[in-house]
Amino acid sequence: VPDLMEADDIETIGVSVVSEFTWKQLLDTDACTMCGRCTAVCPAHATGKPLDPREIVLKTGEIMAATGEHGGVTPPIGADAEITVAADSVFERITHEELWACTTCKACDENCPVNIEILDKILDMRRYLTLMESEFPAELGGAFRGMENNANPWNLNNGERADWADGLDVEVVNADDPFDHEYLYWVGCAGSFDDKNRRVSVATAKLLRRAGVDFAILGPGENCTGDSARRSGNEYLFQMLAAENIAALNGMGVRKIITQCPHCFNTLRNEYPQYGGNWEVIHHAQFLEQLVADGRLDLSEARLDERVVYHDSCYLGRHNDVYLAPRNVIGSLGGVEIVEAPRNGTKGMCCGAGGARMWMEETIGTKVNDERSRELLDTGADRIATACPFCFIMIDDGVKGHGVEDDEVKVADISIHLIDALEAADD
Ligand code: SF4
Ligand code: SF4
């Protein structure tokens, strides 16, 4: 994706015609064996949405075959050789509804036996729709305005970012001052503004304090990382937020960042380096795992005599290969029995909120979070552990939607389960 803050000669962005895909993306369409493994693991498809990832690949191949300039391009196996399309526009065959149904969970890419990348094609087409045609679900407009005007998709007053820390021994630093702590705790928008996730921030801060970690937060100096903007095609907004955050963090001399949000983690760690942001970024699941292993976080008295199931976050798991750390954190409590949902690890089922789906209505088919919550409840767990603010919101809503309240099955981030056990041991 070009640097939109620098370039001034860009005529179009994203993909609307097949020739705008890279040669690798087009070669993918020829490599597809039509095995359907991508479709079998797609949460959108499983819940009755119009998206079928295999069809995204095959339809792209069909348009290429029907309109290719140089002739001799055969259609993908199984496609109708006589197919006719009026133009090489991808939207001749691929509908907007298909593209907006994607949660960007990456299960399709992860499970494809020939390494076809489907998600990047979907994002390229979303980018075109949003930036070139202003064609996006109306509900996204509110999140875009929030990120633009208040630096958070909730569109709440960014000056209140640190309110969750009132009364706690947490230092809020000024983004104009040099940073003289070991770690910056990047709280994220959900951890700052969403009621459920503010409890995660409190629990995480308490755990860091107990372990004697030298950290501070940015409070109002922190802006949304722009993950939802990028996943919904608003690349311009993403790069604008990235530029502001990178300038602030580099100006302060920050070197190490802890974050509880896998979306912030993925953006800060994997995407900001392209724009000059290079720091050591660690997710709180990994950091807590280290603190326990090093003996800095003493859990020797903490017990949880309960059955716990961990719900894999797509952006921690498939996007960043972190599967064991959150399980190890919970598993280090005495008395815990860890159980697994049928779909776990690389095949874990999305909560339904990724890819900016958090901000869109879900009106077609059944709800992804209902289906996933049912599966988690069926494990017979007393607690469900999450390690992502969006997963926490979606799974908690899903479980309560099934009529199950906190006193029966408690859904919470790993940090809350940990602090529950530690504080019970303190009493
Ligand atoms: S990323 Fe997930 S939701 Fe999107 S097409 Fe692939 S499997 Fe389906
Ligand atoms: S998993 Fe890969 S090879 Fe199989 S249908 Fe999907 S894209 Fe094609």
pLDDT score for 79: 65
ipTM strictly over 0.85? yes
Q: How confident is the model at residue 184 (pLDDT cuts 50, 70, 90)?
A: very high
Distance 44 CA to ligand 1 centre (A): 7
pLDDT score for 355: 95
- Ligand 2 atom, smallest distance to 111 CA: 1
List of domains in the chain: 18-133 (1.10.1060.10), 140-289 (3.40.50), 301-426 (3.40.50)
- 144 token code pair: 């875009």
Ligand 1 pocket test: pick from 105, 109, 121, 367 the residue with the most ligand atoms within 8 Å of its Cβ: 105
The Cβ of residue 50 has, within 10 Å, a number of other Cβ atoms equal to 16
- 274 token code pair: 């392209």
Ligand lying nearest the CA atom of residue 99: 1
Q: How confident is the model at residue 213 (pLDDT cuts 50, 70, 90)?
A: very high
pLDDT, one tens digit per residue, over 303-336 is 999 999 999 999 999 999 999 999 999 999 999 9
Residue 199 has pLDDT above 80, yes or no: yes
Distance 349 CA to ligand 1 centre (A): 10
Nearest CA-CA partner of 350 in 375, 382, 313: 313
Give the whole-angstrom CA distance, residue 96 versus residue 51.
10
pLDDT, one tens digit per residue, over 222-240 is 999 999 999 999 999 999 9
Percent of the chain's residues with pLDDT above 90: 89
Percent of the chain's residues with pLDDT above 70: 96
Give the whole-angstrom CA distance, residue 24 versus residue 426.
57
pLDDT, one tens digit per residue, over 49-94 is 999 999 999 999 888 888 876 555 666 666 666 667 777 899 989 9
pLDDT, one tens digit per residue, over 269-286 is 999 999 999 999 999 999
Distance 317 CA to ligand 2 centre (A): 21
Give the whole-angstrom CA distance, residue 256 versus residue 186.
10
Q: Give the mean model confidence (pLDDT) for residues 33-58.
A: 96
pLDDT score for 68: 73
pLDDT score for 82: 67
Cβ of 116 closer than 6 Å to ligand 2, yes or no, is yes
Give the whole-angstrom CA distance, residue 316 versus residue 323.
7
pLDDT score for 78: 66
Average model confidence (pLDDT) across the chain: 95
Sign of CA dihedral 249, 253, 254, 255: positive
pLDDT, one tens digit per residue, over 87-114 is 789 998 999 999 999 999 999 999 999 9
- Ligand 1 atom, smallest distance to 107 CA: 7
Distance 30 CA to ligand 2 centre (A): 10
Give the whole-angstrom CA distance, residue 210 versus residue 406.
26
Cβ of 117 closer than 6 Å to ligand 2, yes or no, is no
pLDDT, one tens digit per residue, over 361-374 is 999 999 999 999 99
182 φ/ψ angles, rounded to the nearest 5 degrees: -70, -45
pLDDT, one tens digit per residue, over 390-413 is 999 999 999 999 999 999 999 999
Query: Is residue 173 within 8 Å of 218, Cβ to Cβ?
Result: yes
pLDDT score for 342: 97
pLDDT score for 340: 98
pLDDT score for 73: 64
Distance 62 CA to ligand 2 centre (A): 15
